[in-house]
Amino acid sequence: MIHVMFSRHRIKVTTQPPPVWYKDEGGRDKAIAVNAVLVDENDQPVRNREVPLKVMLLYEGDTEMEVKNQTILKIANEHPPKIDRTGKVALRVRIEEVSKNHQKQSFVVRVGPDPAYNPGNCDISADISTAVTVRSKRNKRRKTGKDGEEIPTGPVPTAAAATAGGGTATANAGKPKTGSGATSTALTASGGGAVPATQHLMR
């Protein structure tokens, strides 16, 4: 004879993880909040029943496929976490690996009863959170102007440096040029009417 077990109560996840979570932002104490409640077949809260929980990490799209290395899921709650007599639990979990290392798959968190602690809780069905993609950090974007050109991020020249540079150029401009540059300037200035000083010396 086959015995079919119907779920009298079920766990319902009420606080979902964000669509994208950056594990390396906010320090090692940063965690994902996953809250859950125990409800009956009419979706009404069930109190005065403690339920030790088994929290597991699965892949999105295949709720039967568990992540092989469950140690990447860290739970900050007491061990085992449990729904208390108020019918609620506030889980804080961390996922220590990025989705990129798992063929870019997103994760889901499964919250269910742990029969190892209480086999009598097999009449309680589990629930699965929405998907979360885990990344390391946000990419820093460079600032751009209105026309789309990149704004330099290096040190901006000071007014004193600009004045110093201009003063040097002005001082050099006042000095007479020597060498071939001087002869070329004299010839240009003389035009066709005046005879260059060099030619006077050669006569």
CA distance 93 to 75: 5
DSSP 23: T
Q: What string of H, E and C letters represents the secondary structure of 103-142? A: CCCCEEEEEEECCCCCHHHHHEECEECCCEEEECCCCCCC
Beta strand ranges found along the chain (DSSP E) = 9-13, 20-22, 32-40, 51-59, 62-66, 73-75, 82-83, 88-95, 107-113, 124-125, 127-128, 133-135
- Average pLDDT per 10 consecutive residues for the chain, totaling 203 residues: 66 98 91 98 96 97 89 92 97 97 97 94 96 92 58 55 48 48 40 46 41
Single pTM value for the model:
0.66
Q: Which amino acid is at 79?
A: H
Q: What is the pLDDT of residue 47?
A: 96
What was the pLDDT predicted at 77?
87
In this predicted structure, what is the pLDDT of residue 159? 54
| 9-135 CATH fold | Immunoglobulin-like (2.60.40)
